[in-house]
Structure 1
Amino acid sequence: MADTKREIERKYESDDSGLPDLTGVGGVTDVIDMGLVELDATYYDTADQRLTAASLTLRRRTGGSDAGWHLKFPVAPGVRDEIRCPLSDTVPAEIAALVRSRVRGAELVPVVRLRSARDVRHLVDADGAVLAEASVDTVTADRLIGKGGSAQWTEIEVELADEADPALLDRVDKRLRKAGVRPSKSASKLARALEQTGGTRHGSGRRAKPVTAGDHVLAYVREQREKILEHDPGVRRDVPDAGHQMRVATRRLRSTLRTFGKVLDPAVTDAIAVELKWLAGELGLDRDQEVLAERLTTALGDLPPALVHGPVSKRFTTWASARHGSARGHLLAILDSARYLALLDTLDALLADPPLRKKAAGKPEKVLAKAVRKDLAKVSRLVTEAMELPPGEERDVALHEARKKGKRTRYAAEAAVPALGGTARSLAKSMKSLTKLLGEHQDSVMARRTLRELSAVAHAAGENGFTYGALHAREEARAAQVEARLPGLWKEARSQAAV
């Protein structure tokens, strides 16, 4: 069974002088010698090093107190989440799933072996509590693929203890620098091993600054593709908001392909857009359910007790839990499906050999602005038509369509910001305000639909349906308030949205 640990550490170059005295630094009252530990780690990756390129590390390590399989995800500079599984001969299924979007059909093979003699010190406070672990590691690295090669070095590593104040690392850093110790040039032992045994420094090069319209569109496509891959493990781990962020990236990517059809050939991208719509729909099942459940629960809590009749709260909870469980299992199956992995392969192929049209070579200020204005005109027409309809289901549907086109316009404007600057940024902000208001309206539509369904179930069970009706009436009032605010907000948005 896997567990997760947040690892906060800093690495430094070391010479024969070893670790400077850290007594008295940031509440450290004693430095305890914990002895020498022998560690032996084999790092795994694909032959073309896809995990390394994404700053992920996967290793099988023996020795020390945490022998087993470790998968590390970057969170911030010096901060990583480490997924741990017990020691076994092969990559555990739980870990293999977390790297599937990167690895896909490729094989994970040993790429580097690192043997470390770790001289460990515990930095403790006056009560004997461990604040951090400082070690001097003497490392021997052997490359296991390609032409091979070996390297040796010594480094200092300082890792914060669980629940300790991160400010301690800043104080330790100051003491180490004063003693002449300098931060490591490599982010990890694996990165250093690959570099010193004949490998390539991944991620060190920068892409050329976008010049043409095609450059800008492809840069945005690449960014959203990477975000899909980045959030995939979080969705599998049920990390809060990961599914929402992955869904947003999927929608942004689909909208970009739709909007900039004069840049990327729709004959190629239309089929990809269909698959992205499918993926966004699957990702939204659980998210939409979560948002709706929270809305209904909050609304019920706001009702005066005298208006609550029957086991409404229990019925809400049962409904939400049942839907979440089934949606969760379904989503995991989607992320392991051949269809999803094929979509990721297709996105890679699109970026490797983009189907550029003639307009792709044009000036971004002209090509991108024209595409964005076209999207904005569609939003304007849909909002106007929706508000001319009488309140009811037809208007609800029309406002929902306006919301979807507003999001598309927002994403198009975001993609154009590097080329168009403040005008595109203002439009994106205006569209965000519009779609947020229309989102509130659509949430009310879905809440009323669910209340009617739950009321019917409650009635069939012989329960009082009064509370469902009261909540329904309040949702109608909220939707009416949104519709009343819409004309003024839309007028303001249009005045700020000149592109």
Structure 2
Amino acid sequence: MAETKREIERKYEATGDTELPDLTGVPGAGSVTHEGVTDLDALYYDTPDLRLAADSLTLRRRTGGADEGWHLKFPVAVGIRDEIRAPLSETLPASLAGLLRSRVRHADVVPVVRLRSSRDVRHLRAADGTLLAEISHDTVHATRLPGGETATWTEIEVELADGLDDTGDRILDAVEEQLAQAGIHPSDAPSKLARALHETGPGPAGHRPPHDDAPKDGTAGAAVLAYVRTQVDAVVTLDPAVRRDLPDAVHKMRVACRRLRSAFKTYRKVLDRTVTDPVADELTWLAGELGTARDEEVLSERLAARLDDLPDTLLLGPARARLTSRTARRAEDARRTVLAALDSDRHLALLDTLDALLAAPPLREAATHEAPRVLARAVRKDFDRLATRVEHALGLPPGHDRDLALHEARKAAKRARYAADAAKPTLGKPAKRFSRRVKAVQSLLGDHQDSVVARAALKETAGQAHAAGETAFTWGLLYGREEAAAAAGERELPEVWARAAAPKLRAALGH
């Protein structure tokens, strides 16, 4: 079974003659213990075109040392990576293979570098013996595979001990200061693999080939494609995060799908819809599969918060137990749905299609025009669409039809906001202000729709409780509170909408 470890480390240049200074002067340190020398032998795997390295991912199979086995590392920030470990085996464990799928696709994963290291380890400990950091003096021999080009170097690696994230920077900074005084300076290489690739042959070029007729900087085509590329990268990057069940990963991936789909619709004067519409349909499918999990997460959090707001005297029957059971059951079903979608050939085909679209974008004539005019016009058009829907909804009496109309207005608000977000690099502050005002409308309408969904779930849960012989009083009470919350949102909407629809805000977009 795979386990995850947060790796926080810094690397430094060294030679075979480099001697470590006395690190007991580091604040909080009490001793430095010598742990001996270990020989490590690691095969690093990648696709032949080095797709993993291009995205700063590292996959290796290492023997020797206390943590021998398979290691997959994802970048988190500079000097910080999540290392996912699996037991030593001859073939790549399925638990790691799935996390590579969005990058690797149908390509083979093969050995690209062999690193043999002699690791001289010291432990920096506090006065009470608590481990603060591990300092390794490594002599590394790299061999490029296939081909046999070699490189040799020596480096010092300082890795923070587990559980010290809050004080980690202070400890690492203090160690670095001691090393600097001894003439030992940070390495330019972010990892051993990156250095080995650089010194033994061509490095990664990425797997998305550039197109020959790329639009010129400053044009609408360049601006829209930059935004599309950002969202495509997010979908690819978030795939393993969703598989790892990281916080908010499903939501972020779903939003990236929606932003792409909205961009194709908003900027249809720039990108040919005969090409992008089928892609948008597939994005709708993926967002829908992700939506099951996200919607259940939002609903469960909302219902739990509503229960928490009730005084104990109004919490009758096994309401919390019923909600916990409902949440666990539906969350499990939703996660199975998400993983099945990510493991499907349909998902891989969508990723390949998005890459192909970026490699040969279906640009229309407007793509050659100056970006400010084209993008501002598209944003204003989406805003006009939103205005029509909001005004229609406000003209309806409270009830089912207004709920539906407000939901349609919410979707239009998202599209208008996404359009403005895409235009921010081009239009600057006016687009940022516009996006912020529209987001306020979207948030209000979103809360209203969440209330509509919550009421349906409460009605269903009340029926189930009644059928089981439980009192449905609490569920009915929550239903009434959701009705009141929705009504309050509807009363607030005209004022929030008036701020977003201010003529000077729309005029600020210009062009």
Q: TM-score range, shorter-chain basis?
A: over 0.9
Matched, 1:455 2:456: no
SS at 1:390's partner residue?
coil
Pairing 1:357-396 to 2, within 5 Å after superposition: 357-396=364-403
Is the Cα contact below 8 Å between 2:59 and 2:72 reproduced in 1? yes
Deviation at 1:413? 0.6
Matched, 1:253 2:260: yes
Is the Cα contact below 8 Å between 2:380 and 2:506 reproduced in 1? no
Is the Cα contact below 8 Å between 1:19 and 1:156 reproduced in 2? no
What does residue 40 of structure 1 align with?
A: 41
Report the residue type matching 1:108 in the other structure. V
SS at 1:238's partner residue?
coil
Matched, 1:172 2:175: yes
Q: Deviations over 1:192-237 (max 9, x none)?
A: 000000122668xx99994211001111111111111111111111
Which shifted more, 58-67 or 15-24? 15-24
Percent identity of paired positions between Structure 1 and Structure 2: 59
What does residue 53 of structure 2 align with?
A: 52
Report the residue type matching 1:4 in the other structure. T
Candidates 317, 327, 352, aligned match of 2:334: 327
Deviation at 1:455? 1.4
What does residue 84 of structure 2 align with?
A: 83
Q: Which runs of 4+ in 1 moved over 4 A?
A: 206-209
What does residue 271 of structure 2 align with?
A: 264
SS at 1:99's partner residue?
helix
What does residue 66 of structure 1 align with?
A: 67
Cα RMSD of the aligned pairs, angstroms, is 1.5
What does residue 149 of structure 1 align with?
A: 149
Q: Distance in 2 between matches of 1:212 and 1:372?
A: 16
Matched, 1:162 2:162: yes
Q: Distance in 2 between matches of 1:249 and 1:350?
A: 16
Q: Distance in 1 between matches of 2:267 and 2:51?
A: 29
Q: Deviations over 1:68-91 (max 9, x none)?
A: 000000000000000000000000
What does residue 445 of structure 1 align with?
A: 452
Q: Deviations over 1:390-443 (max 9, x none)?
A: 001110111111111111111111111111111111111111111111111001
What does residue 2 of structure 2 align with?
A: 2
Pairing 1:224-239 to 2, within 5 Å after superposition: 224-239=231-246
Matched, 1:221 2:228: yes
Which shifted more, 475-484 or 303-312? 303-312
Matched, 1:293 2:300: yes
Is the Cα contact below 8 Å between 2:258 and 2:283 reproduced in 1? yes
SS at 1:354's partner residue?
coil
Q: Distance in 1 between matches of 2:59 and 2:190?
A: 15
Is the Cα contact below 8 Å between 1:426 and 1:497 reproduced in 2? no
Q: Distance in 2 between matches of 1:28 and 1:306?
A: 54
What does residue 241 of structure 1 align with?
A: 248
SS at 2:134's partner residue?
strand
What does residue 480 of structure 1 align with?
A: 487
Deviation at 1:28? 1.8
Deviation at 1:497? 4.1
Q: Distance in 2 between matches of 1:304 and 1:4?
A: 40
Q: Distance in 1 between matches of 2:47 and 2:201?
A: 17
Report the residue type matching 1:410 in the other structure. R
Q: Deviations over 1:168-202 (max 9, x none)?
A: 00111112122221211111000000000012266
SS at 1:408's partner residue?
helix
What does residue 412 of structure 2 align with?
A: 405
Is the Cα contact below 8 Å between 1:212 and 1:363 reproduced in 2? yes
Is the Cα contact below 8 Å between 2:215 and 2:367 reproduced in 1? no
What does residue 197 of structure 1 align with?
A: 200
Q: Distance in 2 between matches of 1:29 and 1:303?
A: 52
Q: Distance in 2 between matches of 1:331 and 1:222?
A: 23
Which shifted more, 215-224 or 176-185? 176-185
Deviation at 1:467? 1.9
Report the residue type matching 2:48 in the other structure. A
What does residue 186 of structure 2 align with?
A: 183
Report the residue type matching 2:157 in the other structure. E
Deviation at 1:305? 2.9
SS at 2:501's partner residue?
helix
Q: Deviations over 1:291-327 (max 9, x none)?
A: 1111112112222333333222222111111111111
Is the Cα contact below 8 Å between 1:195 and 1:201 reproduced in 2? no
What does residue 284 of structure 1 align with?
A: 291
TM-score by length of 1: 0.97
SS at 1:239's partner residue?
coil
What number of residue pairs does the alignment pair up? 496
Is the Cα contact below 8 Å between 2:50 and 2:203 reproduced in 1? no
Q: Deviations over 1:360-418 (max 9, x none)?
A: 01100101111111000000110000000000111011111111111111111111111
Report the residue type matching 1:428 in the other structure. S
Q: Distance in 1 between matches of 2:479 and 2:80?
A: 46
Structure 1: 5+ residue runs without aligned partners?
none
Q: Distance in 2 between matches of 1:126 and 1:310?
A: 54
Is the Cα contact below 8 Å between 2:33 and 2:124 reproduced in 1? yes
Q: Distance in 2 between matches of 1:209 and 1:224?
A: 20
Q: Distance in 2 between matches of 1:212 and 1:178?
A: 51
SS at 1:29's partner residue?
strand
Q: Deviations over 1:147-188 (max 9, x none)?
A: 441000001100000123211001111121222212111110
TM-score by length of 2: 0.95
From the superposition, tell whether residues 179 and 201 of structure 1 become closer, same or farther in structure 2 (CA, over 3 Å). Answer: farther
What does residue 116 of structure 2 align with?
A: 115
